[in-house]
Chains A and B, each alone.
Chain A
Amino acid sequence: MSFSWSRVGAIVQKELRDYRRNRFVVLTMVFLPLVFIVAPVIQLFAIKVQITSAKLDDRIGLSLLYLLILPAIVPSVLSAYSVVGEREQGTLEPLLTTPIRSAELLVGKALAAFLPTLAVAYVIFGIFLGAVAAFAHHAVVSATFERDHLLVQLLFTPLVAGWSIWAGIAISTRMSDVRAAQQLTVVASLPPVAIVALVNFNVITASIGLALGLAGALLLVDGMAWRLVAAMFDRERLVTGRQGGPTRRA
């Protein structure tokens, strides 16, 4: 039996339907982005005309960093819930008794967190750019729309989200309490943001090559995280709370 995208699709569809009707998820998806867009927009609008170029870069870097926290935080709420939430609801056991393979279940769960996160993060970034273009000083506009800034933002948004999702799912498979899983996942989501911060604040000199290199490294880490989480996925442990035996990955 090979990897089935049809089964992955079933999980994604089920998750998205469930999110849509879950008030906590909807509120998180709506209000958290609003919080994260207000600060960077105010930051840029408050910039005075006579600001130095270095300070302008710092301010823009800080604003864009705010926006990159979004793809780290939003999926952490969803991914941390993904396995332990099912366990708490009593829906995990029926799900695990279907022919779905661990890798399919995990990819389905990850995609279901990834797609809305990406949509929200890019929409918020678009709104941010629109607001800057419409209302900010032209020096701020041209600095914000610099190719390197856009590239970092577009490239790192999915990669940061990917890290956050795999960290969340890994934690979710090991925890027995949803809240504890969500708190741990938020903390575990932040390391990639720190790297991006170094780039945005020019601690690491930004260049296309560096951005691509870091993005490639993060992509590799995301891929390895998936394999690691799939290997750690233990049906017996999830069902009984005890370590499983040799058939656990079947």
Chain B
Amino acid sequence: MTSDPDAHRGRPGRGRPGRDGATPGPALVVEHLTKHFGGRVAYEDVSFEVGYGEVFGFLGPNGAGKTTTVRTLGTLIAPTSGSATIAGIPLTAESGAAIRERIAIMPESPGLYLRLTVAENLECFARLYELRDVRDRIDRVLRAVNLGDRAKDVCGSLSKGLRQRVALARALLSDPEVLFLDEPTSGLDPVATRDVHDLLTVLRERGVTIFLTTHRLEEAERLCHRVAILNTTLRLVGRPDELREQLFSRNLDVRTRAPLDEPGRVFDGLANVDGWERSPSGSYVLNVTDPDAAAPVVVRALVAADADVLSIAESHHSLEDVYLKLVDEDVEAAKR
């Protein structure tokens, strides 16, 4: 991280006009937002922007302040300091209802009225948003979450995965400018998780602005244009590939049939190769500046050393590696 105060703000990749079409700008602007509960810091000095049509992942360990941030942006919690603009409206003591008209939040727990039917749950929320053509909207969102035939089912009779889908339908009812999803796949089995992922992929393709909090890293990597990693303070913001490049050097993973007799003589001094090490699995991991340029040089060196090469490929760090590295750094810093 750099000392430039705006360096970790994270600019959105693209922008598009707001609902009225007249005020282009980011869907979310968060500047130095801080929340303390008494002496406890929930999150501190958080700044980022999210563009319209962007899927923004908000990652962090339990207790990092993700849900509290969502609740703040959803006007349920007042920030201690800092500012935010949500769907073009500054967050103030008076603007809560106006902001809530333009956004929707799906909390971690679906929070459905279990004695009411699916349609009755949605009808209540449609009326709270004062929507027109309530029946049509309910039909449309139920079809969008593949629940078109479950409108008359009592919510208490639905499985956890189906309840989650109803909650997502409820969040889509008002065509929100920003959709906040707080751990949408938490506690779901793999099939239900896949269903929710498929729905989110459809929403992403439709250009819905989504603020997704999760600690499922593969979920964020698959769905999000950009991610932010929060651990009380914001650690990083960027595209997953940017974050990998920022934190990790690029590597070539070389596998040979037998261990090399003198690997130092093979790899040391090769062009574009900055260093190497033996991995626990027995392969050789080479730090390179440009994998495409380094690979032919490495192959030639291996052939010259009479090595039987099984494979040579660029090794990719996952978002999980990025996340764990940052969290481990925080743990180490806390120990010191």
Contact = CB atoms under 8 A, between A and B. Distances in A.
Interface string A21-46: 11000000000000000000000000
Interface residues of A, number: 38
Contact of B37 (A92, A242, A246, A248): A242
B125 to A, nearest CB: 6
Contacts of B78: 236, 244-248
Interface stretch (A58-66, A93-101, A173-181, A186-194): A93-101
B77 A239 contact: yes
A89 interface: yes
Nearest to B99: A250
A245 B81 CA distance: 10
Contacts of A98: 100, 125, 128-129
A1 B98 contact: yes
B111 A14 contact: no
B297 interface: no
A10 to B, nearest CB: 3
B202 interface: no
B97 A240 contact: no
Given A1-B98, A7-B127, A97 B74 contact: yes
Interface in B78-93: 78-80, 91-93
Contacts of A94: 105-107, 110-111, 125, 167, 170
Contacts of A248: 78
B113 interface: yes
A91 B171 CA distance: 14
A14 B80 CA distance: 35
Contacts of B128: 7, 10-11, 95, 98-100
Interface string A130-174: 000000000000000000000000000000000000000000000
A235 interface: yes
A216 interface: no
A159 B92 CA distance: 37
Chain B interface SS verdict (over half): loop
B219 to A, nearest CB: 22
Contacts of B71: 239-240
Contact of A93 (B76, B97, B113, B120): B76
B97 A247 contact: no
A89 B121 CA distance: 14
B7 interface: no
A17 interface: yes
A248 B92 CA distance: 10
B95 interface: yes
A246 to B, nearest CB: 5
Interface residues of B, number: 44
Contacts of B106: 94
B116 A89 contact: no
B93 A250 contact: yes
A90 interface: yes
A18 B123 CA distance: 13
Nearest to A100: B128
A17 B120 contact: yes
A149 B288 CA distance: 96
A235 B114 CA distance: 23
B124 A99 contact: no
Contact of B105 (A22, A97, A235): A97
A242 B94 CA distance: 20
A247 B100 contact: no
A205 interface: no
A82 to B, nearest CB: 13
A231 to B, nearest CB: 13
Contacts of B322: none
B96 interface: yes
B27 interface: no
B116 A14 contact: yes
B75 interface: yes
A93 B111 contact: yes
A100 B125 CA distance: 10
Given A14-B124, A18-B115, 15 more contacts: A93-B105, A93-B111, A94-B107, A94-B110, A97-B100, A97-B104, A99-B129, A99-B130, A235-B76, A240-B71, A245-B78, A245-B80, A247-B79, A247-B92, A249-B93
13 contacts: A1-B97, A6-B130, A7-B128, A13-B127, A21-B115, A93-B111, A94-B107, A98-B128, A101-B97, A240-B71, A242-B37, A247-B91, A250-B92
